[in-house]
């Protein structure tokens, strides 16, 4: 998933049409934009294969509970492996069902039949899998020496040890069997609040210069060359978010309170603990990252935006100037074929194997690229299940930065394809490492484009764009993380009014963006449309983690390219089977070393140094 930096580069939506229609002439400015073919999952919501899988899943879950509940401690290594493999098969089938329901929903979040279908699937799978809650609970009651003994007896079982390590990391925060089953069933309520957020965002309309736009079209105007259009979009965005702020405030209050209650019952020391555990990363590593970035604000964002203020010829920067193109940057629409060629050539320049893995995404309906009314905003790559393939969602609008978004999401896709060999339980990568291939794909594409720059102004435009992307990925996401920390801490002490949340948002903005900016009235509501805060609390620091990690990796690649590709592919193939220390060791890197983050941030500083040198 690409971070929403404040406003991702978007464009006006295409005319209304069915989400599964062919691109046709409507997409002419960008070429023939691909759309998903979800038939590799299921042909339709009433496909007999879907009913078959639902029936199998219901029976498999019941038999799993009957065969293993209360008996894990009695299993020998062979029996325990059988239990694990059956659990993995259940995960694969349920994952296929929910991938299909979710992807179909994100294509058109405002369609009632798609909303109902996804909700019905969530309800069914929750009911089917409730009897399986015992599995992790019983695993955490097994003595360490007993479990380690089973691993010693069976090498195939030992391959799953990283999964058990993560499960057992939750041991101190585990509740009774009855409460765990209750929380499992209650999960559909939290999902409903997430759907309310998605549907509200997708249904917003904005009137700008007499034209009705969705949020995609409005946000893309924040990158327009015409400053008056940027201002109009920024003010209309603030106005519409302000009109809906009580709904967004209710969603955030409810989801944060739900998390606070669950965390309190589990005895988690702070709201971030659950995310750190799921990311398999130590709190002190995240804190070192956060502190390194905050300390670097003056050397990164403050310094860059002061440069940009001068380039734009402004006394003061306004929020609608942050993602403005440079005055020397020529307005350009990049058609889809050119975007594909740019990214694929960059991938092939690193390794033909990388391009070979990426090719089917373009040829086989694995990408949904067009902007359509009701389609979810932003971009992501969803791995689905390991016996199918990933799907990439974009909202492609022909901007040069959209090329970078394609490179980013395609990097995720390549990573997910490579990791699939680990199987359903071990392929999933912690968020902190999940951004590695995506950010690396962006860096490859940027470097390839930079090498082709023919003039000083072209190089300046590319460097500035990359610096802005890195600031959005590192500085902005750490500011978002600080906002979330403040939000969840404040919610522990009572209900938050919209004004309370607005104030928390503004408390991190001036610090991160720097003294070059003024903040218009209404900007305080811009927290409301960031989906990560609702869907994945504290997800955002993973972007900064990934960017810093990739900057350090790329420095290693530049210093010693011989043999790097093979080590890189091995890292991606590992999926979630190794800890970040083990994955980075072959490159001589260690994320637990505070100097590691300075190494990554120094690359951004170096780019800003180059831009400053161009002023001389």
What is the 3-class SS of 293-351, one letter each residue?
Answer: HHHHHHHCHHHHHHHHHHHHCCCCECHHHCCCCCCCCCCCCCCHHHHHHHHHHHHHHHC
pLDDT value of residue 526: 96
Find, among 494, 536, 492, the residue nearest to 264 by Cα: 492
Neighbours of 333 (CB within 10 A): 14
- Taking a C-beta distance cutoff of 8 angstroms, is the pair 191, 115 a contact? no
Q: Where are the domains of the chain?
A: 38-190
How does 100-109 read in b/e, with b if 16+ C-beta sit within 10 Å?
bbbbbbbbbb
- Distance, in Å, from the CA atom of 137 to the CA atom of 180, rounded to the nearest integer, reads 8
- Taking a C-beta distance cutoff of 8 angstroms, is the pair 94, 129 a contact? yes
DSSP state of 517: B
- Taking a C-beta distance cutoff of 8 angstroms, is the pair 353, 418 a contact? no
pLDDT value of residue 216: 80
- Taking a C-beta distance cutoff of 8 angstroms, is the pair 403, 45 a contact? no
CA quadruple 118, 123, 126, 128: dihedral positive or negative?
negative
What is the token pair recorded at 526?
């811009």
- Distance, in Å, from the CA atom of 430 to the CA atom of 149, rounded to the nearest integer, reads 27
- Distance, in Å, from the CA atom of 82 to the CA atom of 91, rounded to the nearest integer, reads 14
The bridge status of strand 211-213 relative to strand 206-208 is: antiparallel
Q: Which helix (H) or strand (E) holds 105?
A: helix 77-107
Residue corresponding to tokens 């329901």: 101
What is the token pair recorded at 283?
């709190």
pLDDT value of residue 15: 24
- Distance, in Å, from the CA atom of 234 to the CA atom of 240, rounded to the nearest integer, reads 10
Neighbours of 352 (CB within 10 A): 11
- Rounded to a whole number of angstroms, the CA Rg of the chain reads 24
What is the token pair recorded at 120?
């019905």
How does 43-74 read in b/e, with b if 16+ C-beta sit within 10 Å?
eebeeeebeebbeebeebbeebbeebbeebee
Residue corresponding to tokens 């900064």: 544
- Distance, in Å, from the CA atom of 158 to the CA atom of 165, rounded to the nearest integer, reads 11
pTM: 0.81
Show the low-confidence residues of the chain (pLDDT under 50). 2-28
- Taking a C-beta distance cutoff of 8 angstroms, is the pair 61, 90 a contact? yes
- Taking a C-beta distance cutoff of 8 angstroms, is the pair 201, 529 a contact? yes
- Taking a C-beta distance cutoff of 8 angstroms, is the pair 132, 61 a contact? yes
Helix H segments across 364-424? 400-419
pLDDT value of residue 408: 94
> pLDDT tens digits for 65-96?
999 999 999 999 999 999 999 999 999 999 99
- Taking a C-beta distance cutoff of 8 angstroms, is the pair 108, 372 a contact? yes
Superfamily of domain 38-190 in the CATH hierarchy: Oligopeptidase f, N-terminal domain (1.20.140.70)
Q: Which residues touch 3 (CB under 8 Å, ≥6 apart)? A: 472, 473, 476, 477, 532, 540, 543
- Distance, in Å, from the CA atom of 120 to the CA atom of 123, rounded to the nearest integer, reads 5
User: What CA–CA distances, in Å, run from 369 to 17, 87, 304, 439?
Assistant: 14, 35, 31, 19
Residue 381 three-state SS? strand
Backbone angles phi, psi at 324, to 5 degrees: -70, 145
Q: Which helix (H) or strand (E) holds 368?
A: strand 367-368
- Distance, in Å, from the CA atom of 443 to the CA atom of 604, rounded to the nearest integer, reads 12
């Amino acid at each position: 998933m690409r971070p929403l930096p404040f406003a991702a580069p978007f464009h006006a939506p295409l005319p209304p049409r069915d989400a599964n229609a062919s691109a046709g002439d409507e997409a002419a400015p960008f070429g023939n934009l691909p759309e998903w073919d979800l038939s590799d999952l299921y042909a339709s919501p009433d496909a007999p294969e879907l009913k078959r899988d639902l029936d199998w899943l219901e029976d498999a879950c019941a038999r799993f509970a009957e065969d293993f509940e209360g008996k894990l401690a009695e299993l020998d290594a062979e029996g325990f492996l059988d239990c694990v493999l059956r659990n993995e098969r259940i995960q694969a089938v349920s994952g296929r069902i929910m991938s299909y329901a979710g992807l179909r929903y994100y294509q058109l979040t405002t369609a009632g039949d798609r909303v109902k279908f996804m909700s019905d699937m969530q309800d069914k799978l929750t009911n089917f899998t409730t009897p399986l809650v015992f599995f992790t609970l019983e695993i955490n009651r097994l003595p360490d020496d007993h479990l380690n003994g089973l691993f010693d007896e069976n090498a195939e079982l030992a391959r799953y040890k990283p999964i058990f390590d993560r499960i057992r990391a939750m041991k101190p925060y585990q509740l009774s069997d009855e409460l765990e089953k209750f929380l499992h069933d209650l999960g559909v309520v939290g999902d409903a609040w997430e759907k309310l957020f998605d549907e509200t965002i997708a249904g917003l309309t904005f009137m700008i210069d007499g034209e009705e736009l969705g949020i995609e079209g409005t946000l893309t105007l924040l990158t327009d060359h015409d400053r008056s259009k940027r201002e109009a979009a920024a003010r209309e965005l603030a106005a519409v978010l302000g009109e809906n702020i009580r709904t967004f405030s209710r969603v955030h209050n409810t989801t944060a309170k739900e998390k606070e209650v669950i965390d309190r019952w589990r005895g988690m020391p702070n709201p971030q603990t659950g995310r750190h555990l799921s990311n398999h990363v130590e709190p002190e590593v995240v804190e070192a990252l956060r502190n390194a970035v905050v300390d670097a604000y003056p050397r990164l964002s403050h310094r860059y935006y002061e440069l940009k203020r001068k380039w734009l010829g402004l006394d003061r920067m306004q929020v609608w100037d942050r993602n403005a193109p440079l005055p020397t940057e020529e307005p350009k629409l990049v058609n889809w074929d050119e975007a594909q060629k740019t990214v694929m050539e960059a991938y092939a320049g690193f390794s033909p194997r990388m391009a070979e893995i990426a090719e089917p995404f373009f040829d086989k309906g694995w990408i949904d690229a067009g902007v359509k009314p009701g389609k979810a905003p932003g971009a992501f790559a969803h791995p689905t299940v390991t016996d199918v393939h990933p799907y990439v969602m974009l909202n492609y609008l022909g901007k040069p930065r959209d090329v970078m978004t394609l490179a980013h999401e395609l990097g995720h896709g390549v990573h997910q394809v490579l990791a699939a060999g680990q199987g359903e339980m071990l392929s999933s990568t912690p968020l902190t490492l999940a951004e590695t291939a995506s950010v690396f794909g962006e860096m490859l594409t940027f470097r390839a484009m930079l090498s082709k720059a023919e003039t000083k102004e072209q190089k300046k435009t590319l460097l500035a764009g990359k610096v802005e992307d890195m600031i959005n990925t590192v500085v902005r996401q750490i500011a978002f993380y600080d906002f979330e920390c403040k939000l969840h801490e404040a919610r522990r002490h009572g209900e938050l009014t919209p004004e309370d949340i607005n104030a928390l948002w503004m408390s991190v903005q001036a610090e991160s963006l720097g003294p070059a900016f003024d903040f218009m009235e209404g900007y305080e509501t811009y927290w409301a449309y960031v989906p990560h805060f609702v869907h994945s609390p504290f997800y955002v620091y993973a972007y900064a983690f990934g960017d810093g990690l990739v900057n350090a990796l790329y420095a290693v690649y530049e210093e010693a390219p011989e043999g790097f590709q093979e080590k890189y592919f091995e890292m991606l193939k590992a999926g979630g089977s190794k800890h970040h220390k083990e994955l980075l060791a072959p490159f001589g890197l260690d994320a637990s070393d505070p100097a590691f983050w300075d190494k990554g941030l120094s690359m951004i500083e170096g780019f800003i140094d180059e831009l400053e040198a161009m002023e001389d």
